[in-house]
């Protein structure tokens, strides 16, 4: 009797374990769920926030509404990763309060305890974010967005809001938000890069609590089709020379409509940013990279992450349990083309940690649809495909599935443009402008023709010319694409197929 009871108990425990495991699998494997991009278990997300690397952990906070799949009162959700690829969702870090919703911002490691938040030798992580007061907004006030602080003394696990919030009060600018803070070593001070409607305003501080206005940048520079949001400022090394990059997100007014990320290259002296070009440059030309900024405290590496959606339809995309994911993290580097400096991006090298297997194929028959799963044993999504192509001619590469849904990537020689055509890519009817062809310039005439695509269940990221031109588009095919067809005449020298593991296993 006793034995049977024991057996029954362990059997039911076993069943519970199985069902928990099944549940975990279901959660991250619903229709359209990205398999190698972070998305919250449930509900709404937009911008990545407070990205900071500390003690071997990458922290990713994110605009989060835990009660719905529609944008609402903003919190900071939290996820952590040891390798930028596998993410573990953590408890919510910051909740709205009497000063408002918790809008976007950044986080720094205050090693010198300039803020005084550190205690007993514990280094404070400090988050600098926008408090956006919904009551002020609906009353039509112009000062409802203010900058505030929160700190963590347990390496990012729990956060305490500063009692003296807000630390930077609004001077009467409706769009006054998204502080990105960095330590400026030559002058031993903090610099805040803030989006202030149609320009960037720089502030400085010795203690993160008292801020002094330095200068403004950009009223007459770059793209101005919408409000400037989510900026970032950092330097990159170019053959021993320090070049500053100012990232400015913009909504709307992107190169393919809606929200997008532009950037400027130039010089910063702790006081003022001067750009070295009048050209408008985009970090990603696709429709679905937005609010992209970089991790702080990563030394010489600059790792960029964007939100993989567009404000034109982010609230309507057809996922049910959660809404929206982040891009794959990208490493940034500078490249010069003629007299212009550009920022090129590539998936971070840590992608190697999810490589399942890889194979090559050369000599392909152009003009015939080919079954990807016979071309590459067990082709599946997510995966990465690297194409080495012949002469630079008009070409198209069509990915399709058995439902005849198609995603086309191509190049238009006369226009010198890459494109992604998602008009027939699957579910497109949830918003009028979603079914579209997006274009992006080929920036370097001399580059060998090489393109890479990162293909996930509901997204494609195109890295052309070693990441000099990048395009991110989301797609909602009813089944994964399993056929490929090259346009007639296209010389495909080689395709490397890299099968990627799901990050949620």
Rounded to the nearest angstrom, the gap between the alpha carbon of residue 424 and the centroid of all alpha carbons in its chain is: 25
- 145 or 205: CB nearest ligand FRU: 145
Interface map 217-246 toward ligand FRU (x if CB under 6 A)? ------------xx----------------
Instruction: Kindly state the number of chain residues that form the binding site for ligand FRU, as judged by CB under 6 A.
Output: 12
Please give the distance of CA 448 from its chain centroid, rounded to a whole number: 27
CA 419 – CA 440 distance, rounded (Å) = 6
Contacting residue, 32, 38, 53, 103, with ligand FRU by CB under 6 A: 103
Q: Which residues contact 450 (CB under 8 A, 6 or more apart)?
A: 386, 387, 388, 389, 464, 465, 466
Q: Is 144 in the site for ligand FRU (CB under 6 A)?
A: no
For ligand FRU, which is the closer residue by CB, 74 or 246?
74
Least distance to ligand FRU, CB of residue 259, Å: 7
Report if residue 104 touches ligand FRU, rule: CB under 6 A. Answer: yes
- Report, in Å, the least distance between residue 295 CB and ligand FRU: 18
> Among residues 166, 165, 175, 167, which one has the least CA distance to residue 143?
175
- The encoded tokens of residue 265 equal 């290259």
Please give the Cα distance from 237 to 205 (Å, whole number): 25
Distances (CA, A) of 405 to 44, 277, 408, 420: 27, 41, 10, 14
Give whichever of 46 and 327 is closer to ligand FRU, judged by the CB atom. 46
Residue 133 as a binder of ligand FRU (CB under 6 A): the answer is no
- Kindly tell me which of 32 and 103 has the beta carbon lying closer to ligand FRU: 103
Shortest approach of ligand FRU to residue 393 CB, angstroms?
Answer: 39
Task: Tell me whether residue 113 is exposed, middle or buried, using C-beta atoms within 10 angstroms of its C-beta: 0 to 12, 13 to 18, 19 or more.
Answer: middle
Nearest distance, CB of residue 477 and ligand FRU, angstroms? 26
CB atoms within 10 A of CB 196: 24
Q: Which of 47, 133, 331, 461 binds ligand FRU (CB under 6 A)?
A: 47
Which CB, 51 or 499, lies closer to ligand FRU?
Answer: 51
The residue annotated as part of the active site, out of 47, 288, 421, 465, is: 47
Identify whether 466 is a catalytic site residue.
no
Query: Given candidates 46, 106, 165, 400, which one binds ligand FRU under the rule CB under 6 A?
Result: 46
One of 130, 146, 193, 472 touching ligand FRU (CB under 6 A): 130
| Contact track, ligand FRU, 318-347, x by CB under 6 A | ------------------------------
What is the side-by-side order of every strand in the sheet holding 417-421?
A: 370-371, 483-486, 395-400, 406-412, 417-421, 437-441
Nearest in space to 261 (alpha carbons), one of 471, 40, 51: 471
Residue, CB closest to ligand FRU? 103
Are 271 and 214 spatial neighbours (Cβ–Cβ below 8 Å)? yes
- Shortest distance (Å) from residue 503 CB to ligand FRU: 24
Q: Which is nearer to ligand FRU, 292 or 410 (CB)?
A: 292
Q: What whole-number distance in Å separates Cα of residue 158 and Cα of residue 139?
A: 33
Minimum Å gap between C-beta 482 and ligand FRU is 34
- State which of residues 51, 52, 74, 341 lies at the interface with ligand FRU (CB under 6 A): 74
The interface with ligand FRU within residues 169-208 (CB under 6 A) comprises: 177-178
What's the min distance (Å) between Cβ of 313 and ligand FRU? 13
Give the single-character DSSP code of 13.
Answer: H
Residue whose CB is less far from ligand FRU, 107 or 503: 107
User: Counting contacts by CB under 6 A, is residue 293 touching ligand FRU?
Assistant: no
Which residues fall within 8 angstroms of residue 291, CB to CB, at 6 or more apart?
46, 47, 48, 104, 229, 230, 249, 259, 261, 306, 307
Sheet of strand 160-161, all strands in order from the earlier edge strand to the far edge = 101-109, 125-132, 145-152, 160-161
Minimal distance, residue 230 CB to ligand FRU, in Å:
5
* Residue from 34, 35, 63, 201 in contact with ligand FRU (CB under 6 A): 63
Q: How far is the CB of 74 from ligand FRU (least distance, A)?
A: 5
Binds ligand FRU by CB under 6 A, chosen from 94, 248, 250, 291: 291
Indicate the length of the chain as a whole number. Answer: 505
* Residue ranges of E strands in 218-275: 227-238, 241-251, 260-268, 273-275
Cis status of the peptide bond prior to 382, with omega within 30 of 0: yes
In the DSSP assignment, the letter for residue 97 is B
The residues assigned a catalytic role are: 47
Point out which residues bind ligand FRU (CB under 6 A).
46-47, 63, 74, 103-104, 130, 177-178, 229-230, 291
């Amino acid at each position: 009797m006793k034995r049977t009871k024991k057996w029954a108990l362990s059997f039911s425990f076993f069943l519970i374990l199985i069902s928990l495991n099944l549940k975990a699998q279901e959660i991250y494997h619903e229709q359209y769920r990205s398999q190698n991009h972070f998305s919250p278990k449930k509900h709404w997300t937009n911008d990545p926030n407070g990205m900071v690397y500390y003690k071997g952990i990458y922290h990713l906070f994110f605009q989060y509404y835990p009660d719905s799949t529609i944008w609402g009162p903003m919190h900071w959700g939290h996820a952590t990763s040891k390798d930028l690829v596998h993410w573990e969702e953590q408890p919510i870090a910051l909740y709205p309060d009497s000063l408002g919703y918790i809008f976007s911002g950044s986080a720094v490691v205050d090693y010198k305890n300039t803020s005084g938040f550190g205690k007993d030798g514990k280094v404070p992580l400090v988050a600098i974010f926008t408090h956006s007061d919904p009551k002020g907004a609906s009353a039509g006030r112009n000062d409802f967005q203010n900058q505030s602080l929160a700190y963590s003394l347990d390496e990012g696990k729990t956060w305490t809001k500063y009692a003296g919030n807000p630390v930077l009060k609004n001077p009467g600018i409706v769009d006054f938000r998204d502080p990105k803070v960095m330590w400026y070593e030559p002058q031993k001070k903090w610099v805040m890069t803030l989006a202030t409607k149609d320009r960037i305003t720089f502030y400085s501080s010795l203690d993160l609590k008292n801020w002094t206005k330095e200068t403004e940048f950009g009223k007459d520079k770059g793209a101005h089709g919408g409000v400037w949001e989510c900026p970032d400022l950092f330097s990159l090394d170019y053959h021993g020379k320090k070049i500053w990059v100012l990232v400015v997100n913009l909504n709307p007014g992107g190169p393919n409509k809606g929200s997008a990320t532009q950037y400027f290259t130039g010089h910063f002296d702790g006081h003022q940013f001067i750009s070295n070009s009048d050209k408008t440059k985009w970090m990603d030309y696709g429709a679905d990279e937005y609010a992209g900024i970089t991790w702080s405290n990563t030394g010489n590496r600059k790792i960029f992450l964007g939100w993989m959606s567009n404000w034109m339809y982010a609230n309507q995309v057809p996922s049910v349990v959660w809404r929206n994911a982040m891009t794959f993290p990208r490493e940034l580097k500078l490249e010069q083309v003629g007299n212009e400096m550009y920022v090129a991006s590539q998936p971070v090298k840590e992608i190697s940690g999810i490589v399942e297997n890889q194979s090559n194929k050369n000599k392909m028959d152009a003009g015939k649809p080919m079954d990807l799963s016979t071309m590459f044993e067990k082709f599946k999504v997510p995966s990465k495909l690297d194409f080495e192509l012949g002469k630079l001619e008009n070409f198209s590469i069509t990915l399709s599935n058995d439902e005849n849904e198609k995603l086309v990537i191509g190049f238009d020689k006369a226009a010198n443009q890459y494109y992604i055509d998602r008009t027939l890519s699957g579910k497109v009817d949830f918003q009028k402008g979603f079914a579209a062809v997006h274009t992006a310039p080929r920036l370097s005439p001399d580059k060998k023709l090489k393109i890479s695509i990162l293909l996930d269940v509901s997204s494609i990221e195109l890295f052309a010319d070693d990441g000099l031109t990048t395009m991110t588009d989301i797609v909602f095919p009813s089944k994964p694409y399993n056929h490929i067809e090259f346009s007639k005449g296209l010389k495909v020298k080689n395709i490397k197929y890299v099968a990627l593991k799901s990050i949620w296993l």
